[in-house]
């Protein structure tokens, strides 16, 4: 093995003594626990997860003068831009009932996923100092990001509903609005799964962070945030494939409940549940398998 600053070889040691060691009762330092033990450890660190989430929500927008108001202002400005370009200039609003409400839901809900996935993906790379300082199950970090997004998302969702009530045509508040909660829960489960997968990828291949913003933009165009697929896609097969997109399904469910007072189809729930639980299961196993490597640069 060539070394930097080569030096003459050292003499061999005088002797080698063999030491029989009983490795029962000893654990390998930094070893990845068995999967079930890992889940138990995650549960034991729930207070860490919640504390991390809470502390970072409070400190998140401290640099801005308007502070947490940006959580709401951001999608509002986004929505305004889309409204003028797509709604007024290009006229994608034709044929959509209550386009403003349609757009508000699209922008607000999509933004929640975009934030959760992007932040979850960076949670390992951005927390090396904590990872190297303490021994704890690393999956707590992406989980904490998603808890943080839920905490930050509650006022955002309330603002979204208020905006929908403010703009005409005014929608009636129905018990169906409550179905928004399970839809958003499944959305969060899905976000966490994607975040876990990306967090592992980015911890070794940092280049993926550069692709992430493009991927999220493409995903947004593919999720019917400010137009309806029904007008543009004639082919039924293509349409049904596009409608398998989990984020599109979330938007569809929320719009059905809030705007159109329709009970979402069971098929939508099934698609969303399969995506959410499936991706989470894949994500947690995939993340756990590299548990030992996250401390390295």
Binding-site ranges for other proteins (CB under 8 A): 1, 3-4, 7-8, 10-30, 44-45, 47-48, 51-52, 55-56, 59, 62, 127, 129-130, 132-136, 292-293, 295-296
CB 152 within 8 A of CB 56: no
Two tokens, residue 156:
């955002």
- Cβ-based nearer residue to other proteins, 129 or 178: 129
Minimum gap (Å) between residue 49 Cβ and other proteins: 9
Closer to other proteins by Cβ: residue 13 or 168: 13
Q: CB–CB of 273/187 below 8 Å? A: no
Quick check: 261 and 173 in contact, CB under 8 A?
Answer: no
Name the minimum Å distance from CB 44 to other proteins: 7
Spatial separation of the C-alpha atoms in residues 71 and 114, rounded to whole Å:
13
Q: What minimum distance in Å lies between the beta carbon of 261 and other proteins?
A: 43
Q: Work out how close the CB of 14 gets to other proteins at its nearest, in angstroms, rounded to a whole number.
A: 5
To other proteins, the closest distance from the beta carbon of 111 in angstroms equals 21
Residue closer to other proteins by CB (options 44, 230) is 44
263-266 CB contacts, 8 Å cutoff, 24+ apart: 263/176, 263/179, 264/179, 264/183
The contacts of residue 229 (CB under 8 Å, 6+ apart) are 239, 242, 243, 248
Choice between 108 and 294, CB closer to other proteins: 294
Nearer to other proteins, 52 or 149 (CB): 52
């Amino acid at each position: 093995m060539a070394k930097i600053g080569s030096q003459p070889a050292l003499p061999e040691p005088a002797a080698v003594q063999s030491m029989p060691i009983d490795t029962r009762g000893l654990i390998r330092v930094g070893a990845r626990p068995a999967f079930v033990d890992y889940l138990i450890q995650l549960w034991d660190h729930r207070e860490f997860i919640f504390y991390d989430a809470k502390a970072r929500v409070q400190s998140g927008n401290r640099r801005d003068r308007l502070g947490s108001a940006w959580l709401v202002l951001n999608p509002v400005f986004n929505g305004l831009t889309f409204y003028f370009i797509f709604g007024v200039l290009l006229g994608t609003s034709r044929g959509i009932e209550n386009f403003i409400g349609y757009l508000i839901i699209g922008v607000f809900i999509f933004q929640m996923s975009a934030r959760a996935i992007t932040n979850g993906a960076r949670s390992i790379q951005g927390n090396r100092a904590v990872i190297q300082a303490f021994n704890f199950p690393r999956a707590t970090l992406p989980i904490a990001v998603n808890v943080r997004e839920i905490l930050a998302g509650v006022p955002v969702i309330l603002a979204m509903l208020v905006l929908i009530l403010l703009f005409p045509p005014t929608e009636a508040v129905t018990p169906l609005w409550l179905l928004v909660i399970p839809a958003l829960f499944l959305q969060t489960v899905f976000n966490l799964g994607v975040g876990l997968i990306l967090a592992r990828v980015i911890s070794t291949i940092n280049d993926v962070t550069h692709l992430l913003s493009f991927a999220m933009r493409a995903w947004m165009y593919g999720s019917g945030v400010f137009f309806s697929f029904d007008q543009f896609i004639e082919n039924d097969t293509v349409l049904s494939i596009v409608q398998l997109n989990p984020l599109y399904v979330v938007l569809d469910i929320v719009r059905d409940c809030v705007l159109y007072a329709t009970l979402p189809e069971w098929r939508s729930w099934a698609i969303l549940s399969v995506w959410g639980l499936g991706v989470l299961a894949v994500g947690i196993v995939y993340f756990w398998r590299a548990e030992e490597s996250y401390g390295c640069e």
